[in-house]
Structure 1
Amino acid sequence: MNFKATHLKPFGVIVEPVVQGMNVKELDLKSLHQFFLQEQIVVLRGFSTFRDSEDFAKYCELWGEISIWPFGKVLELIEQDNPQDHIFDHRYVPMHWDGMYRPQVPEYQIFHCVKAPLPGHGGRTTFSNTVLALKNAAPELKELWGKVTGIYQRKMEFYNSKTVSPIITKHPRRDFSVIRYNEPPCEGKDFVNPPDLEFAGVPGEKVKEFHQGLQDALYSPANFYAHEWQDGDVVITDNFSLLHGREGFTSKSPRHLQRVQVQSSPPFNNPGLESYK
């Protein structure tokens, strides 16, 4: 084999070349897709990668149909001087799933690290495996979560949308349940352009218990992985099974990620979208 694979904890796999100088495009996509189904995160590290964003997009098209945004295929995640939204800020981002405010929810998130933050400067991308979170949760917690529906509204440059989703729902393509949750921002932490969040089905005296139990599960070491970026990393993640966020990083640290969203086959129409502009 032209690569070695090492399992990450508590989930995920890192794939590295056996021969120096190997390009990521030389990897067998069938093998990578099998890793994706089994592990939910595939990290490709140590390979030569892409000439530019167009070259990156062409690689992502090998995985399926790309979700097109007003800016095109590739989102350049770089801190802006006066960000109007948290995706362009340096501060932390709570757990959520991508496409929750869009007509279709992508299955794959594919990231390319053009430039990693300096060592010790933060900026890890955080992931919670909600399949594991449900497996490891106490029955009484799952019973509470199963009664709750999240109502989410968010306005930003690319959309103004409202979506409604049960906390526990079925995976769109596979026979198991997942968690869909937009984590409220932590008290005392600055957060640019937060969404409006409401949670129905939980009694007032149980609201704190609901959020605390869910957050404890999502961030438990048994269910949680934080990816520390290195230059050239390519990371493929399962947006149907995972929630993700971002740790804050030192402002002006050179963190530059590119992100492409790839649809499932067939594309998955967002079941909870109530309004979209």
Structure 2
Amino acid sequence: MDTIKALDSVGVVIDATSMACQRVERLNIASLIDEIFSQGLVVLKGFEPLNDTDMELVAKEIGPLLQWDFGYVLDLKIQEQPQNHIFSEGKVELHWDGAFASEEPRFNFFQCLQSSSNSGGGETTFLNTTRLLESLPNDTIEQWKQIRIRYETEKKAHYGGVIEVPLISRHPKTGKLRMRYIEPFNEDNMAVNPVETQVIGFDTYQSDVFLKEMNSLLYSSNYFYKHSWRKGEFVFVDNLALLHGRSRFEGSGLNRHLKRVHIL
């Protein structure tokens, strides 16, 4: 694919400015899928916007869609009385989508219709866990392979339940090691969707120490990235390899509007 530039240490940007065609649906889908699995995060700039129907059609070219009770396309906007904290002004912890669902999407497909240009914060945070694990010493990896974590949260809207998962597992497509982790101790989420987290086999003190050290390591990693949205951008995420979250919104003008589709 042409006009590709590296995006920090977590992905790539494809800029359509110098391309003959600026329609997302005209991209080579097989090459796009390869790029997502290879890079983890693919940002598209300079492409023409898509309505909901066309966004669904593009997503279906990549794979079947995960349908929620709201349909396929989720409107991500701040709500006054949110049932899920992704609609609040607060921080969203690092997590992977579909953790409490019957199926995990392979890809997240985002479109930015409006950015909060007058405010600070609100960046979407990404962590490329496969690249992080590749950078760590073998003894750390072997220790983490023994870790299993239990997550529990009340089901609200389309999010919640109880799961127990290994910290490290194999990416089902690439075979690379990846992390499955939901960041605990998010003070901004205590009133809406608090997640109780416990390392299996650890007492509460040991578990909390391990999890706090893990949080610190992830946020200080070279493979952690904060994305400031710009109107017109599209983003594809390998949900099987990356974790994502959101910084707390600050200031005024909280009018950011994203669209999201989950692709299986």
Establish whether TM, by shorter chain, passes 0.5: yes
- Note closer, same or farther for the CA distance 1:5–1:191 as it changes in structure 2 (3 Å cut): farther
Gaps of 5+ in 2: none
The answer for the alignment partner of 1:41 in structure 2 is: 41
Moved more, 140-149 or 5-14: 140-149
What is the alpha-carbon distance in structure 2 between the residues aligned to residue 148 and residue 142 of structure 1? 10
**Where in structure 2 are the equivalents of 1:245-264 lying within 5 Å?**
245-250=245-250, 252-263=253-264
- The structural deviation recorded for 1:164 is 1.2
Any idea what the Cα deviations from partners look like across 1:74-112, whole Å, max 9, x if unmatched?
Answer: 111111111122011111101111101011111000001
What is the alpha-carbon distance in structure 2 between the residues aligned to residue 47 and residue 257 of structure 1? 15
The answer for the alignment partner of 1:238 in structure 2 is: 238
What is the alpha-carbon distance in structure 2 between the residues aligned to residue 188 and residue 63 of structure 1? 35
Moved more, 231-240 or 243-252: 243-252
Gaps of 5+ in 1: 264-277
Moved more, 108-117 or 150-159: 150-159
Give % identity: 33
The answer for the alignment partner of 1:275 in structure 2 is: none
- The structural deviation recorded for 1:117 is 1.4
What is the alpha-carbon distance in structure 2 between the residues aligned to residue 216 and residue 139 of structure 1? 20
- Note closer, same or farther for the CA distance 1:163–1:190 as it changes in structure 2 (3 Å cut): closer
AA of the residue aligned to 2:228: E
Q: Secondary structure at the match of 1:118?
A: coil
The answer for the alignment partner of 1:267 in structure 2 is: none
- Note closer, same or farther for the CA distance 1:104–1:138 as it changes in structure 2 (3 Å cut): same
Q: Secondary structure at the match of 1:128?
A: strand
TM (normalized to structure 1)? 0.86
Q: Does 1:29 align with 2:29?
A: yes
- Note closer, same or farther for the CA distance 1:188–1:238 as it changes in structure 2 (3 Å cut): closer
- The structural deviation recorded for 1:204 is 5.0
- Note closer, same or farther for the CA distance 1:120–1:137 as it changes in structure 2 (3 Å cut): farther
- The structural deviation recorded for 1:38 is 1.4
What is the alpha-carbon distance in structure 1 between the residues aligned to residue 87 and residue 116 of structure 2? 15
The answer for the alignment partner of 1:220 in structure 2 is: 220
The answer for the alignment partner of 2:183 in structure 1 is: 183
The count of residues paired between Structure 1 and Structure 2 equals 261
What is the alpha-carbon distance in structure 1 between the residues aligned to residue 152 and residue 208 of structure 2? 21
Moved more, 115-124 or 200-209: 200-209
TM (normalized to structure 2)? 0.90
CA contact under 8 A between 1:79 and 1:252: conserved in structure 2? no
What is the alpha-carbon distance in structure 2 between the residues aligned to residue 176 and residue 22 of structure 1? 33
What is the alpha-carbon distance in structure 1 between the residues aligned to residue 132 and residue 215 of structure 2? 10
CA contact under 8 A between 2:24 and 2:58: conserved in structure 1? no
